[in-house]
Every structure is written in C-alpha cells, then in structure tokens.
Structure 1
Amino acid sequence: MTKLSVNINKIATLRNSRGGDVPNVVQFAKDVQRFGAEGVTVHPRPDERHIRYQDARDLKPEIYTEYNIEGNPVDSFVELVLNVKPTQVTLVPDAVDAITSNAGWDTIKHNHFLVDVIKEFQQNGIRTSIFVDPVLEQIEGAKATGTDRIELYTEAFAHQYSLGNKEAIKPYVDSSVLANSLGLGINAGHDLSLDNIAFFNKNIPDLLEVSIGHALIAESLYLGVENVIQMYLHKLKALS
C-alpha cells in the first residue's frame, strides 16, 4: 500500500516570508499526521530559505509516522541527519541556488561518493533513498550504491500528463519493474498532484511512498488541508 508523506517546506516558506512563527511548522506536522498522513518530509537547504536545520531537529520528537529528510549530502546536511536520525534520508543532488530539485543523481558517475554516504547513514540505522531519473542505467547504478530505495523524479511525467500524454508513464513503469527485480524499494515525488496521482499509482508496481508538498499545499488553499489529505489517501488506497 502506497504511503503519503507530506512535504511541509511550503509552510516554512510562508512562515519565513513574515518572520515570527506563523504558521508553526511543528504544529502543521502534527496536524497532517492527525489528518491521516503517513509521513512527513522536509528538505532543508544550506541557505535555510524554507525549512531550517533547527526545524528538522524540533520536528523529530513530534513525528510518530515516518520522518523523511531529503537534501544534498554536503557535510552540514550529513551531520544534521546523523544527529536527528529520521526514518529515511533521501539524497538529492540539488545545487545551492536551485529553486527546487531539478534532476536525479548520475548514480554511475557519483558511485563512490554515494556508496560512502549511504553506508554511513545505514550504519546509523537510517533507511536510504536516492533521487533518480527514470533511466534504466541509473536504476542499475543506484543498486550498485547499496541504497535501500530510489525516489523517482516525476516532474517529466507530471508535465506530459497535464498535456494529455499518458505514454509519459512508460519509462517510470520500466524503471519500477527493473528496480523491483533488483530488490530496490520505490518512492516517487515532484509535481504529483490530485490530478495525476491516481493514474501514476495505478501504473507503478509496488510503489511504497509518495512525497507531495507544493501541489498538496496549493490544493489545500481551496479545499482545506484535512480534506486534501483524505482525498490523496482515497486515491492511493483505492488503487493499491
């Protein structure tokens, strides 16, 4: 059954735009779990323009579902994750100046780096996931790093699906079939929404988790957070 992890970065962005502590990210994390979310995701960046490193620490005692911290494993990020010890760390190769994540890892080029980082996290009891494009060679490369899971970067699918191109799902299906055969768990995220999540979930075999932030928060402005979370859960569980 596919789990829903809510990325709360946008709540921190809203808070930071005015200073102070409104909305409070810890309270929001507690609320989304109460509303049925099965995980909470944060993506702290070095400039702390949304989630701050201290937020990641403050959230730990309040998350009783799954806690996923994602980001580029620079030294400060690695130190944070080892200190907090979330359920899962998702490694994302985003540049310091990237507005949002925009590419998966080249798991072949960066094999040695990823092997070392992943081993350190796993030795500390933290499940690892690598953000990857739906390219078969990169899935094979991910397996060679020793990671527990991959997270499929779904922006290309979401864009093409919005144009009516349902064939855009094919590389994700092929990548998932390969990942399953290699014993890799499958997560997915980026631009998944209420419009496309049911189709994506229906077609991806053994999808374990989706991480959704921007769309979910935007949809909640009109429909309400609790209602939107229930809508996602319905779409995910009805087809699992």
Structure 2
Amino acid sequence: MNLGVNIDHIGVLREARKINDPDPLMALAICAQSGADQITIHLREDRRHIHDDDAYRIITTSPIPVNLECAIEPSIIEIVCALRPHRATLVPEKRQEVTTEGGLDVIGHHNFILDAIKQLKQHEIEISLFIDPTREAIEASERLGAEWVELHTGTYANLYAMRYSALPHSHHSIEALNLSRNELDNLLENAYGTIVDAANYARSLGLKVAAGHGLNYQNVTPIVSIDTIEELNIGQSIVARSVFTGLATAVSDMKALCQR
C-alpha cells in the first residue's frame, strides 16, 4: 500500500501566527526518508494553508511525486498547469468548511470537470477525482477520462470514531447520537462494505484506486486490507502525531501500518 503524506497541516500551524515557520518544504526529505511514497498538498482558493510559493517550491524540489489537490475553478487550474505536478486530484471546495466534506459532484459538474481535465492532460498531468464511494460516481469518473479515483473515507472514519471513542458525549460518541452499539456496528460495517464495493468496481473499470479522509492510526488497518486500493493519502493524523514523536517517526509508524 503506497502512502501519500499530506503536509497541509504544517501550513495550518504556520498560518496560526502568520509567519514563515514551520516551512512545509522542510517536510519533504523527512517524509521520503521515512517511507512516504508521495507528497500531497491542497492549493485551496482561499490559500488557508498552502500558498502558491509553497506549491512551486515543493513540486520543483520534492524527491518523490507530488499530488496537488485543487478545485475546478479556472484560475486554479491554470496555476496547476503551470506547476505541472505529477498528479492533480480534483476536489470540491467550500469557503466555510473546516475540511473537505464529501466527494466531487462528478455528475452535476460534468462539463466543468471535463474542461479542467482536458486542460490538465495537455500538460501531461495525471488526473485523479476525489469522489464519494458510489458506483454512479465511479462510472462518471471513468467517462470523464480520469486515471485515478480517490474514495472519500470520511463516513467510515466518523463512524469508527463514534464506535470506539473513549470520550462520552463528544460529537464522536454513541451517546451523542442516541445509537445502540449494535446499530453503530451495523452502520460501520455498511460504510466499510461500501468502500470495498467501490474499490473493486473502480478497479474492474480500469481505474487506479486511492482512498483518504479521516484515516488515522486506529482506523487505517481495515482499509489497508482492501487489495484493490493501492494508495492512501493521510495528513492530519500524521502531522498531529508528529508534535509528540517527530515527523520521521509519525510517517514511519503509518507506513508500517500500510504493510499488507
């Protein structure tokens, strides 16, 4: 299982004080030496963490491939074309969201996505679409000409946190939703089964399959066992652990969990 390490949250920490430290660029060699197969960054329209200069410096100096997440907004696509990362992952964006809340609407925004894909392919950039794990989204992605789909694992991750949370009455607890343990077990099993089915179906259509969102050291092992998924993109949990262990250990610990 390949591991893409998302370093956006290093930029989040920097933006807390609006200074130049810590520099996301400094993570590249550490991640590569610690087992990361890819660096993932998200150049958002609001530039809340990664800036244009960060993206340029990371893409031009990274010793491993860079996956640049971006919206389909035309001015962003132009920047991505100029930067020419190894891969562009098209994602939905809303200014008010804390993090990406769901998959790209590959059916409703078909024409806009198709225009973006055509432009990116002219610059020899590999295309991935960040989608909800549904057959309809997978079929639409295949028609659009994407090489990859990245399955949104947020529902699974949230249910896992609710099922195994040690914090009673938190927003990630069974008590908060007034669910029985059996009911939550069924919901979690169904969410996991949806990811398995989506990964298998995408592979059957010739798409490469990645997954990400909300994955951490506790919930990642069942996802690793899905052999039709070949890559995970994980960020917040790795950067959070690095505060206590250092980035090299945080990355190598996650990479160890990615061994099948």
For normalisation by structure 1, the TM-score amounts to 0.93
**2:238 equivalent in structure 1:** 216
Tell me, yes or no, if the aligned pair for 1:173 and 1:205 is still in contact at 8 Å. Answer: no
Q: 1:198 and 2:198 equivalent?
A: no
**1:120 equivalent in structure 2:** 119
User: In 1, distance between residues paired with 2:19 and 2:244?
Assistant: 25
Within-5 A mapping of 1:40-79:
40-79=39-78
**1:133 equivalent in structure 2:** 132
Q: 2:206 aligns with which of 179, 183, 201?
A: 183
Unaligned runs of 5+ in 1: none
Within-5 A mapping of 1:166-177:
166-167=188-189, 168-177=191-200
Tell me, yes or no, if the aligned pair for 2:71 and 2:92 is still in contact at 8 Å. Answer: yes
Question: How far apart are 1:206 and its partner, in Å?
Answer: 2.4
Q: 1:227 aligns with which of 241, 244, 249?
A: 249
Render the CA deviation track for 1:81-104: whole Å, top value 9, x for unaligned.
111100110000111332210011
User: In 2, distance between residues paired with 1:221 and 1:142?
Assistant: 37
Question: How far apart are 1:224 and its partner, in Å?
Answer: 2.4
User: In 2, distance between residues paired with 1:84 and 1:177?
Assistant: 32
- Tell me the matched-pair count: 236
User: In 1, distance between residues paired with 2:57 and 2:71?
Assistant: 20
The residue type equivalent to 2:39 in the other structure is V
Question: How far apart are 1:45 and its partner, in Å?
Answer: 1.3
The residue type equivalent to 2:199 in the other structure is S
User: In 2, distance between residues paired with 1:5 and 1:61?
Assistant: 17
The residue type equivalent to 2:147 in the other structure is D
Unaligned runs of 5+ in 2: 165-184
User: In 1, distance between residues paired with 2:228 and 2:200?
Assistant: 9
Q: Secondary structure at the match of 2:44?
A: coil
Q: Secondary structure at the match of 2:138?
A: helix
Question: How far apart are 1:74 and its partner, in Å?
Answer: 0.9
Question: How far apart are 1:190 and its partner, in Å?
Answer: 0.6
**2:22 equivalent in structure 1:** 23
Moved more, 64-73 or 13-22: 13-22
Tell me, yes or no, if the aligned pair for 1:131 and 1:153 is still in contact at 8 Å. Answer: yes
User: In 1, distance between residues paired with 2:62 and 2:196?
Assistant: 31
Tell me, yes or no, if the aligned pair for 1:45 and 1:96 is still in contact at 8 Å. Answer: no
User: In 1, distance between residues paired with 2:33 and 2:253?
Assistant: 15
User: In 2, distance between residues paired with 1:64 and 1:206?
Assistant: 26
The residue type equivalent to 2:67 in the other structure is N
Tell me, yes or no, if the aligned pair for 1:9 and 1:51 is still in contact at 8 Å. Answer: yes
Render the CA deviation track for 1:137-172: whole Å, top value 9, x for unaligned.
111111111111101011101112231535121000
RMSD of Structure 2 on Structure 1 (CA): 1.4
**1:99 equivalent in structure 2:** 98
Moved more, 96-105 or 130-139: 96-105
Q: Secondary structure at the match of 1:188?
A: strand
User: In 1, distance between residues paired with 2:136 and 2:18?
Assistant: 45
User: In 2, distance between residues paired with 1:22 and 1:109?
Assistant: 40
Tell me, yes or no, if the aligned pair for 1:111 and 1:144 is still in contact at 8 Å. Answer: no
User: In 2, distance between residues paired with 1:169 and 1:56?
Assistant: 33
The residue type equivalent to 2:234 in the other structure is I
User: In 2, distance between residues paired with 1:221 and 1:96?
Assistant: 27
**2:172 equivalent in structure 1:** none
Moved more, 177-186 or 107-116: 107-116
